């Protein structure tokens, strides 16, 4: 039967309305006018159970780089996920550390887009969780609906699983993606990506990335109260390192743990570590005091201050405090000024501190050594190499030449222009979905975006995704599957959002 232009438009509009009933999703012109939407929408709905199960199974197969747990197996699992989603020429790429994964989906489209995945997750203590962290339990969460609880649920297997669901839905609908895709994955994001550049600079990977309009990591960051999403124009860099004070290196104190009664006449490496740590920051612990640390720090530009002010207006301070479990900001700063500080200030943070006995009860020992795990967030124009050198020089100058610094991972800050296609495409999709979006100068969290934005790759980079989850790096991490919150997309809405994003990237001028 011949379909008239008017009827075709009517059917397209009806499909758009139907899609709009799914968690606020509204297709863009490229998707709506393609005629692909009804079949894709049906495929998303039909594949939801399989997509949910895929995320759950992935959570049940963790790779933890910090513990060297299941790393080869995690790379194999990631490669299988890539092949199942339609990527070809999938390779497991060895590095000096844990392997990466690379694949290509060349459908003959005019444009190419790169996607970054991480397949590793953070460590966990099962005793802190309401359900086993590797069970990937589906539970009802008040105010959200049906969620998956498990390590990696939102960081990043839930959002990445939603993107894979989009590719499965396109294939099930008999459609090809509107852009060619390059998939680049790593297994060391949670330890500072120390070897990821070896993956992206491999000749065949670099050649594929050079074809791309940009690169993004799938996310699920919608605010539960407003549905809002922040579009980050960059991210802070990071240094992860360990500082160790020991009697052996110091030449004072015990070479091993001894009875604590000896503290009366034997020096303590643990107290030496505390003294070294105290020298790194101001007395309140809030400002780095390492000599030269602020030498290259760039102040916020007027445009960045403007973006932060708009973000403060659009986002809920109460929501932020509730999510973080805090009552005040540093120096009791007002909301906008706290966000300016968040975007602009480098940090020195103790993420872990271990010496001697830490089990139940007491054990009267004088520890022979102590170790602090630090992370240091970097802002433009700081670099990892410069800051590590300044850390070493500071400790030496303060009389701590024996305190060992072991660099375990990190990378420089990153930035992407707000007029790049990948940023404009994000905003267009968010706006249509009814997810208020604001531009923000840079995420206070870190991801190895500089590996893409810096030479030799040189791509705009960002994060994109509808949906919601929380608890990254914490107990009871979750990702929403069936949303009862009209402001937040569930798995189907997130999946359709990724489909629309691909069509937007294909068509945006």
The pLDDT value recorded for residue 479 is 98
pLDDT at residue 3 is higher than 80: no
- Provide the phi-psi class of 476: left if phi over 0, else alpha when psi is between -120 and 50, else beta: left
pLDDT at residue 256 is higher than 80: yes
Domain boundary among 385, 411, 437: 411
Co-location of 224 and 349 in the same domain: no
Query: Residue 462: which domain range?
Result: 5-233+414-507
The pLDDT value recorded for residue 492 is 96
| Cis status of the peptide bond prior to 123, with omega within 30 of 0 | no
pLDDT per residue over 306-335, tens digit each? Answer: 999 999 998 889 988 988 899 999 999 999
The pLDDT value recorded for residue 26 is 85
CA angle 161/207/385 to nearest 5° reads 80
Q: CB 20: neighbour CB atoms within 10 A?
A: 15
* Inter-residue contact 437 to 430 (CB < 8 Å): yes
Give the residue from 471, 459, 463 showing the smallest Cα distance to 497: 463
pLDDT at residue 176 is higher than 60: yes
Interstrand relation of 478-483 and 469-470 (parallel, antiparallel or unpaired): antiparallel
Domain boundary among 393, 411, 429: 411
The average confidence (pLDDT) of the chain is 93
pLDDT at residue 495 is higher than 90: yes
Co-location of 427 and 485 in the same domain: yes
Name the token pair of 251.
Answer: 């030449």
* Inter-residue contact 99 to 72 (CB < 8 Å): yes
The pLDDT value recorded for residue 19 is 36
**Overall average pLDDT of the 173-194 stretch:** 97
pLDDT per residue over 124-139, tens digit each? Answer: 999 999 999 999 999 9
The pLDDT value recorded for residue 323 is 82
Co-location of 222 and 244 in the same domain: no
Sign of the four-CA dihedral 70, 74, 75, 79: positive
The pLDDT value recorded for residue 102 is 98
Co-location of 344 and 423 in the same domain: no
pLDDT at residue 25 is higher than 90: no
Name the token pair of 21.
Answer: 């009933």
Indicate the angle between helix axes 71-85 and 158-172, nearest 10 degrees: 30
pLDDT at residue 182 is higher than 60: yes
Task: Provide the pLDDT confidence category of residue 18 given band limits of 50, 70 and 90.
Answer: very low
Q: How far apart are CA 299 and CA 286, in angstroms?
A: 18
Task: Provide the pLDDT confidence category of residue 99 given band limits of 50, 70 and 90.
Answer: very high
The pLDDT value recorded for residue 23 is 56
Interstrand relation of 100-105 and 112-118 (parallel, antiparallel or unpaired): unpaired
Q: How far apart are CA 133 and CA 127, in angstroms?
A: 9
Q: Between the CA of residue 372 and those of 125, 191, 387, what are the distances in Å? A: 19, 15, 18
Q: What percent of the chain has pLDDT over 90?
A: 91
- Return the CATH number at 355: 3.30.70.360
Instruction: Give me the DSSP letters along 205-268.
Output: HHHHHTT-S-EEEE--B--TTT--EEEESEE-EEEEEEEEEEHHHHSSS-SS-EEGGGGGTS--
pLDDT at residue 225 is higher than 90: no
pLDDT at residue 15 is higher than 60: no
Sign of the four-CA dihedral 441, 444, 445, 451: positive
Domain count, the chain: 2
Co-location of 71 and 185 in the same domain: yes
**Overall average pLDDT of the 386-413 stretch:** 97
């Amino acid at each position: 039967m011949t379909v008239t232009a008017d009827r075709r438009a009517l059917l397209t509009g009806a499909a758009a309305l139907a899609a709009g009933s799914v968690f606020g999703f509204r297709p863009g012109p490229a998707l709506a006018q393609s005629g692909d939407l009804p079949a894709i929408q049906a495929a998303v709905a039909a594949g939801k159970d399989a997509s949910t199960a895929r995320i759950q199974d992935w959570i049940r197969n963790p790779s933890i780089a910090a513990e060297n747990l299941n790393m080869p197996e995690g790379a194999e699992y990631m490669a299988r996920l890539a092949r199942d989603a339609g990527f070809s020429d999938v390779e497991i790429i060895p590095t000096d550390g844990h392997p990466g994964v690379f694949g290509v989906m060349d459908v003959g489209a005019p444009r190419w887009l790169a996607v970054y995945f991480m397949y590793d997750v953070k460590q966990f203590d099962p005793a802190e969780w309401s359900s086993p962290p590797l069970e990937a339990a589906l539970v009802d969460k008040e105010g959200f609906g049906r969620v998956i609880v498990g390590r990696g649920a939102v960081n990043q297997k839930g959002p990445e699983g939603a993107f894979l669901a989009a590719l499965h839905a396109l294939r099930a609908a008999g459609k090809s993606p509107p852009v060619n895709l390059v998939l680049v994955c790593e297994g060391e994001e949670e330890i500072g990506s120390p070897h990821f550049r070896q993956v992206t600079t491999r000749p065949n990977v670099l050649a594929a990335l050079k074809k791309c309009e940009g690169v993004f990591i799938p996310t699920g960051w919608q605010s539960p109260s407003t549905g809002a999403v922040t579009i980050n124009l960059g991210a802070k860099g990071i240094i992860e390192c360990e500082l160790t004070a020991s009697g052996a290196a110091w030449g004072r104190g015990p070479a091993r743990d001894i009875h604590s009664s000896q503290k009366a006449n034997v020096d303590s490496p643990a107290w030496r570590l505390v003294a070294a740590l105290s020298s790194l920051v101001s007395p309140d612990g809030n400002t780095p005091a390492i000599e030269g640390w602020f030498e290259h720090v760039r102040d916020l530009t007027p445009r960045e201050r403007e973006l932060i002010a708009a973000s403060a207006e659009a986002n809920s301070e109460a929501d932020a405090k509730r999510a973080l479990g805090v009552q005040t900001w540093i120096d009791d700063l007002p909301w906008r000024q706290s966000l300016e500080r968040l975007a602009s200030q480098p940090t020195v943070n103790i993420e872990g501190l271990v010496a001697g006995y830490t089990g139940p009860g007491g054990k009267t020992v004088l520890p022979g050594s102590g170790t602090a795990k630090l992370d240091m967030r970097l802002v433009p124009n700081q670099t990892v190499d410069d800051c590590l050198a300044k850390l070493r020089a500071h400790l030496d100058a303060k009389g701590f030449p024996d305190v060992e610094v072991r660099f375990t991972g990190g990378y420089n800050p990153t930035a992407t222009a707000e007029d790049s296609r990948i940023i404009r495409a994000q905003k267009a999709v968010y706006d249509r979905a009814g997810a208020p979006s604001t531009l923000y100068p840079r995420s206070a969290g870190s991801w190895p975006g500089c590996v893409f934005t810096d030479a030799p790759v040189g791509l705009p980079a960002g994060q994109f995704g509808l949906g919601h989850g929380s608890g990254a790096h914490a107990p009871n991490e979750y990702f929403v599957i069936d949303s009862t919150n009209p402001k937040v997309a569930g798995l189907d809405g997130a999946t359709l959002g990724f489909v629309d994003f691909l069509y937007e990237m294909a068509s945006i001028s």
